[in-house]
A and B are shown apart, each in its own frame.
Chain A
Amino acid sequence: MGTNVSLEENFQTYVDGENKVEPKDWMPEKYRRTLIRQISQHAHSEIIGMQPEANWITRAPSLRAKLILLAKVQDEAGHGLYLYSAAETLGESREKMISDLQSGKAKYSSIFNYPTPSWADMGTIGWLVDGAAIQNQVMLTRTSYGPYARAMVKICKEESFHQRQGYEVVMKLAQGTPEQKAMAQESLNRWWWPSLMMFGPSDDESPNSAQSMKWKIKRKSNDTLRQEFVDKTVPQVEYLGLTVPDADLKWNDTRGHYDFGVINWDEFYDVIQGNGPCNKERIAHHVDAHEDGAWVREAANAFAQKQVQRKKDTVTAA
């Protein structure tokens, strides 16, 4: 053809044509690194996210609620496993990802650095936190990296289920005794703003976003996703008879959206930098479990090796 098309340009054309990138395809190194960062961060969020909810499994107020919560946390562990596998297709080992999590090099969703003192938090997390996550993840079912997109399809189905269950918990509280309703409101007060922060910094403050959008890893901006979430959630809050803790919240007829107050980004960056109420606790919990389990993993490996050796011996003897 006489034109010099670079690998990178080819890649961009491929992605622009809405084609999926697969593990063995050539990809820019920065695309690979971006995906490893994002997928492992997502996996870590699922795993660390088990802790605030596991906190209530032993105290769930009915056997049905206990089963639902157990099943939910089990799903999250499954998502973590699924996502670690997706990241491994990009050449990163699970050991490396876990060690990066424990050293603080890798991040996880900051929302899990808040505590869950109330049973109502089990509802609010499902409803708002999983709700916000879905907003993001539905977009990711169309992400350009094949294994990630496919993982997201499965995960989204389960997350929608979790969101409905969360909403059901809050609804029971909101329609319950005055104490229960107060429990639901108190929980909403604590989780509303951190949930909005989950979409990340405003578009003009989000340095990685533009490139990710170009590569179709990300398909909607942080602010767009946040607005969609607010528009969808406010009517749900009203239906429950609860109040959004934002005096500036009001419907804007011209924009066709809700206007809402200013997010406290200082808090967001503080928590990311390690100053949330639970940052230390979450990592220490993970490290402790990992260290307590070391002798068990060693035993399992030693046993597996003995089994392989015994098989060889049997074959040799026969």
Chain B
Amino acid sequence: MTGGWLAGKKSQYTKEEALKEYFLFLADDALILGQQLSRWCSKGPVLEQDIAIINTSLDHIGRARLLYQELSKIEGAGTTEDTLAYFRDHQAFRNALLLEQPNGHWGDSVVRSFFIDTFNFFLYDGLRQCEHRVLAGIAEKSIKEIAYQAQWSAEWVIRLGDGTDESHEKVQKSIDDLWMWTGELFESHPVFEALDASFVDFSALKTQWLNKVALILETATLQMPNAEAWMQTGGRLGVHTSHLGFILAEMQSLPRTYPNASW
């Protein structure tokens, strides 16, 4: 590994280490997004959408639980879904940086969801064939709700893009602003090399994702940013933006204040 701010990060994984990392990629993405979306509760633009976004948040956190529960079994004694969620610090989180970006306005949140939901759709569709039976089962269970999420966020991108001049301008800016966080989703990672080929290699999803995003943006009369633009990185290695610290401080405050309590 060359020098720079990601120096000192692990570059080789045993099979078991890689499996744990892979579960963290999926689970931390789901938890951090679910946590972010839950913040919309009672703040939606209309009551029906308040209900929809809470529902989405529920699905993400529900999926995170299933993944953490399985990971706890791999980790062994003393690890639970809650120790994983509440007693790790930012450097142990493996979510993509996109998900920790602030909610912003409705358009910002919708675009963040659209980028990740589209990614999740191809990812979990592929994971249904994974040879890890539990993971395949979670993917099978989740794919329906992920398909619904992808449809919901794509429809909102279209509605805002093809709505009023104001909404068009706002959502175009959301897309341009969030674009640099999308490249990380498709980075190659040593973890994929250590696992068998039935674990989806995220970098293999890039073309499908770009095609789908291009199609939706065209329908929405929006401009597709340059796919070769500069992209940020770090989340999958545990190097995060400052936002994650605040998200965790809030989320973890109670169990850390009373570490001996059970709830």
Give me the interface of A with B, judged by CB distance under 8 Å: 47, 50-51, 54, 57-67, 70-71, 73-74, 77-78, 80-81, 84, 119, 169, 172, 176-177, 179-180, 285, 288-289, 292-300, 302-303, 306
Contacts and interface: CB of A to CB of B under 8 A. Distances in A.
Contacts of B58: 67, 70-71, 74
B81 interface: yes
Q: How large is the interface on B (under 10, 10 to 19, 20 to 34, 35 or more residues)?
A: 35 or more
Given A62-B82, A74-B58, A54 B159 contact: no
Main DSSP-derived SS at the A contact region: helix
Given A47-B47, A289-B42, A302-B167, 11 more contacts: A50-B42, A61-B255, A70-B54, A292-B45, A294-B45, A295-B166, A296-B167, A299-B159, A299-B164, A302-B163, A303-B162
Contacts of A60: 254
Nearest to B256: A61
Interface string B29-55: 001000100110111111111110011
Nearest to B58: A70
A12 B162 CA distance: 54
Interface string B162-178: 11101100100000000
Interface string B220-263: 00000000000000000000000000000011011100101111
Interface of B: 31, 35, 38-39, 41-51, 54-55, 57-58, 61-62, 64-65, 68, 81-82, 85-86, 105-107, 158-160, 162-164, 166-167, 170, 250-251, 253-255, 258, 260-263
Contacts of B250: 58-59
8 contacts: A61-B86, A67-B61, A70-B58, A74-B55, A81-B48, A176-B262, A285-B43, A293-B45
B38 A58 contact: yes
B42 A51 contact: yes
A62 B255 contact: yes
Nearest to B57: A70
A60 B159 CA distance: 34
Contact of A77 (B38, B47, B167): B47
A296 B50 contact: no
A109 B182 CA distance: 45
A73 B41 contact: yes
A57 B49 CA distance: 18
Contacts of B255: 61-62
A289 B163 contact: no
B61 A70 contact: yes
B167 A67 contact: no
Given A77-B50, A293-B44, A298 B166 contact: yes
B47 A302 contact: no
Nearest to B249: A59
Contacts of B263: 61-62, 65, 119, 169, 172, 176
Most buried by A among B50, B68, B164, B254: B50
B65 A67 contact: yes
Nearest to B38: A57
B59 to A, nearest CB: 10
Contacts of B47: 47, 77, 80-81, 84
B216 to A, nearest CB: 14
A62 to B, nearest CB: 5
A119 B62 contact: no
A180 B262 CA distance: 9
Contacts of B262: 172, 176
A63 B159 contact: no
A293 B46 contact: yes
A187 B81 CA distance: 28
A61 B51 CA distance: 23
Contacts of A59: 250-251, 253-254
B254 A299 contact: no
Contact of A73 (B31, B54, B251): B54
